[in-house]
Amino acid sequence: MSSVSKCIYALSFFLYSFSGADAQGGTNAHADAQGDTVHAFTLDQCVEYAMKHQPRLNQAMIGVDIARVTNSINLAGWLPQANVSGNLTHYNSLPTSFVKNAGGTVVQQRTGVVNTFNPVLSVTQTIFNPALLYASRSADLYVHQAEQITDSTKIFLVAAVSKSFYSLLLTLEQINVLKEDTSRLAKNVHDTYHQFIAGTVDQTDFNEATITLNNSMAQLRQAQLNVQPQYIQLKQLMGMPPEQSFNVLYDTVQMKQDAAFDTTLALDYKMRIEFQELQTSRKLQDQAVRYYKLAWLPTVGAFFDYDLAFQNNNFGQLWTNTYPYSYIGLSLNFPIFTGFARTNSLKRARLQSQQLDWSEVDLKAQIASEYESALADYKSNLYNLEVMRNNADLAQKTYDIVTLQYGQGVVAYLNVITAESNLISSEIGYQNALFQLLSSKIDLEKSMGVITIKHPPNK
C-alpha cells in the first residue's frame, strides 16, 4: 500500500471518529450547559410556553386591558363631575356704578370691597350627550376587537412555533440518517482497505469509498451546524430567554398520525380570524355612522354651584366674614351650524363603510386563494410521502442486495456507491416529505381557520 493511501485511510478514520463524537454533541449542543436541569419539550409544550412568555402575545393581551381602561375613561363623562376653583382679587380702584339717589338724580359711586376671595364648588351631571352615547355603544366592540387581535396572535404563534419545531426535527432526523450512513461508509472503507491489502480489489475502490465517506461527513457536519440557528429561532418564537435551554421531545409514529387531515371539509370564511376582525370593524363603523347622524342632537346637563364668598376692605380680615350663595340649573348646547363638519363627517363615515365592503371582497378572494394553494400543497406532499416511503424501502432492499453481491465479487464497488447514494437520498427524501406534509397541514388549517389554540394562559 502506498504512503498516500495510508494517509488517506488514516485521515478518513480520524474524520469519522471526530464526526461521530461531534454528531452526538451537535444535536444536543443546546443542552450541554444545563446538564440534568434541561427540560424536554413536546410540540404542545413549546406552544404552551409561547402562550405564556411570547412578548408579542403578552403585548396583545395587555391591549385587551388597555381597551377596557380606555372605555372607562371614555364613559367617565356619564358620572358626576366635581371641581373646586377660586379667585383671589384685590381692586386697586373699586368699580364705578350709577344709581339714583332719593331725589331721583343719577349719581356715580364706588361699589364693592377692595379684597375678595371666591372659592366655588361646581358639580355637573350629563343627561344626554351624543359622543358619550357612541362611546357606550362601542365599548364592548373595542374590547372584542382587542380580544380578536390576541386570538390572531395566538393563531400565528401556533403556526409559527409548529413549523419551526418541525424544521428543527427535520434537521435532527437528517443528522440521524447521516450518522447511520457515515457509519456504514466507514465500515465500507475499513472492509475495502483489507480487501485491497488482500489483493481482491484495487486502490480505486478504496479511494472511491474514502471519497464517499468524506462527502457523507461533510453533509453531516452541515446538518449539525444548521441545528443551532433553527433552535435559536424556535426559542425566539417561544419567547424563551437566550440563556435558557431545552431539548425537543417527539414521537415519529404519533407525528405520522397527526399529519392526517380531512380534505373534504368545506371552506367557511367565518372561521378565519381576519374575517371576524373585519366584521367587528364593520360594526364599529356602523356605530360611527349612527353617531354622526345623531350629532345634531343637543347636549343636555345639570349643574350646581356653591360659592363661598369672602369680602373685606382689610386684607388681614378677609377671611373673617363669608357671604355664601348657591344655585342650580340645566344647560343646553344645541349645535346650529358647524361649518358643514357634521354632514361631511357623516359622508366620510359612509365612504369608509364602502371601503370595508370592498375589503371584505378582497379578503374573501385572498382566503380562497390561500386555501386552494394550501390544499394543493397538502395533497401533493401527502402523495410525495407515500412515494418516498416506497422509495426508501426499495433503496434499503437494493443496498442490502448490492452489498452482499459486492462481498461475493459479483458486482463492482461502483454499484455499492450508487446503491448507498440512492439509500441516503431516499431516506432524507422521506424525512423531508414527512415534515413538509406536517408543515403544509399547518398552512391548510390556518387557511381554513381551524387551528386549535392550545393551552391558553390564564390571565
Average pLDDT over residues 44-58: 94
pLDDT value of position 284: 97
| Positive/negative CA dihedral, 381, 386, 392, 398 | negative
Q: Output 263 or 29, whichever has higher pLDDT.
A: 263
Average pLDDT over residues 412-424: 85
Q: Output 38 or 154, whichever has higher pLDDT.
A: 154
Judge if 63 and 172 occupy the same domain.
yes
Specify if 459 maps to a domain. Answer: no
Which among 450, 455, 292, 436 is positioned nearest to 377, based on CA atoms? Answer: 436
pLDDT value of position 421: 86
pLDDT value of position 331: 95
Tens digits of residue pLDDT in 107-132: 888 888 999 999 999 999 999 999 99
pLDDT value of position 18: 40
Judge if 267 and 123 occupy the same domain.
no
Q: Which of 37-51, 262-276, 384-398 has the lowest mean pLDDT?
A: 37-51
Judge if 349 and 361 occupy the same domain.
yes
Q: Output 428 or 414, whichever has higher pLDDT.
A: 428
Q: How many domains does the chain have?
A: 2
CATH code at position 92: 2.20.200
Dihedral angle at the C-alpha atoms of 90, 93, 95, 101, nearest 10 degrees?
130
Judge if 120 and 135 occupy the same domain.
no
pLDDT exceeding 90 applies to what percent of the chain?
59
**DSSP summary character for residue 266:** P
Those residues whose C-beta lies under 8 Å from the C-beta of residue 236, and which sit 6 or more positions away, are: none
Strand partners, 328: 304
Residue 203 CA to chain centroid, in angstroms?
A: 58
pLDDT value of position 153: 95
Specify if 455 maps to a domain. Answer: no
Amino acid sitting at position 206: F
Those residues whose C-beta lies under 8 Å from the C-beta of residue 326, and which sit 6 or more positions away, are: 304, 305, 306, 307
pLDDT value of position 38: 64
pTM of full prediction above 0.75: yes
pLDDT value of position 454: 56
Judge if 32 and 152 occupy the same domain.
yes
Full residue range of the structural domain in which residue 97 is found: 82-127+299-333
pLDDT value of position 102: 78
Dihedral angle at the C-alpha atoms of 25, 184, 399, 403, nearest 10 degrees?
180
Residue 206's pLDDT band, with cuts at 50, 70 and 90, is confident
pLDDT value of position 156: 95
Average pLDDT over residues 337-349: 92
pLDDT value of position 154: 95
Q: Nine-digit cell at 188?
A: 465500507
pLDDT over 60 at 310, yes or no: yes
Specify if 456 maps to a domain. Answer: no
Tens digits of residue pLDDT in 229-269: 999 999 999 999 988 888 888 888 888 888 999 999 999 99
Report the distance separating Cα 120 and Cα 430, nearest Å: 83
Q: Which of 153-167, 168-182, 263-277, 285-299 has the lowest mean pLDDT?
A: 168-182
Specify if 39 maps to a domain. Answer: yes
Arithmetic mean of pLDDT over the chain: 86
Residue 99's pLDDT band, with cuts at 50, 70 and 90, is confident
Q: Could you tell me how many residues make up the chain?
A: 459
Report the distance separating Cα 35 and Cα 45, nearest Å: 20
**Cβ atoms 112, 95 nearer than 8 A:** yes
Report the distance separating Cα 271 and Cα 277, nearest Å: 11
Question: Where is the domain boundary, 318, 333, 348?
Answer: 333
Specify if 327 maps to a domain. Answer: yes
Residue 21's pLDDT band, with cuts at 50, 70 and 90, is very low
Specify if 187 maps to a domain. Answer: yes
pLDDT over 50 at 456, yes or no: no
pLDDT value of position 23: 35
Q: Which of 25-34, 254-263, 270-279, 424-433 has the lowest mean pLDDT?
A: 25-34
CATH code at position 137: 1.20.1600.10
Judge if 408 and 290 occupy the same domain.
yes
pLDDT over 80 at 24, yes or no: no
Q: CA dist 9 to 127, 188, 343, 413, Å?
A: 95, 12, 89, 17
Judge if 277 and 175 occupy the same domain.
yes
Judge if 20 and 89 occupy the same domain.
no
Judge if 263 and 309 occupy the same domain.
no
Average pLDDT over residues 373-402: 94
Between strands 246-248 and 39-41, the pairing is parallel
Between strands 96-100 and 322-333, the pairing is unpaired
pLDDT value of position 106: 81
Judge if 90 and 214 occupy the same domain.
no
pLDDT over 50 at 2, yes or no: no
Specify if 454 maps to a domain. Answer: no
pLDDT value of position 152: 95
Q: CA dist 168 to 28, 243, 249, 359, 374, Å?
A: 12, 19, 11, 37, 22
Specify if 186 maps to a domain. Answer: yes
Judge if 27 and 106 occupy the same domain.
no
Judge if 261 and 351 occupy the same domain.
yes
Amino acid sitting at position 31: A
Q: Nine-digit cell at 109?
A: 359711586
pLDDT over 80 at 200, yes or no: no
pLDDT value of position 377: 96
Angle at 359 between CA 354 and CA 362, to 5 degrees: 135
